[in-house]
Amino acid sequence: MKKGKILNRALNSAIAEMGHGDVLMVCDAGFPIPRNGVTIVDLAITQDLPSVLFTAELLISDFIYERVIVAEENKLYNPVFHQDLKNLIDRCPVETVPHTDILEKWKSSAKVFIRSGGLEPWGNIVFVSGIDAAAYFSKKGAIPPDYFKDRVAYKEK
């Protein structure tokens, strides 16, 4: 049996598809996911099962990310969710953009969509895939540029 938290085959496969800079979205139950040319992992069972935050927590247990983005409206109109997300994310700050950017720019950039059963207002999270900077820059003679120094020093919780 596989070691680790994620047992879902499709979710494991989707994570394995991600390369540096690729975009993955954890979506609420009502997000309009495009159907052509993207990977969709539908985990929704019923209302709020699994929740958006549970899905995100599960994802990051086995996924390296370098950016996390949510709608500005999330911060304004769903502050408890927003704070819980900020408490969960430790690799980088949680960025906010207008919800229209989530629906236009980030939705069209996403390679993978993970649909939760969450019913959270503006409960969609954009993850930009990163690299294991410590592994890359541990090679003899490799020197991390300044913008990678925090990533090289990162330690898992």
What are the residue numbers of the active site? 20
Torsions phi, psi of 136, nearest 5? -65, -45
Terminal Cα distance for the chain, rounded: 24
Determine the 3-state secondary structure of 138 from DSSP. coil
Which of 77, 73, 88, 7 minimizes the C-alpha distance to 41?
A: 7
Rounded distance, CA 112 to CA 61, Å?
Answer: 17
Write the CA distances from 55 to 25, 79, 114, 135, 139, integer angstroms: 11, 18, 8, 26, 34
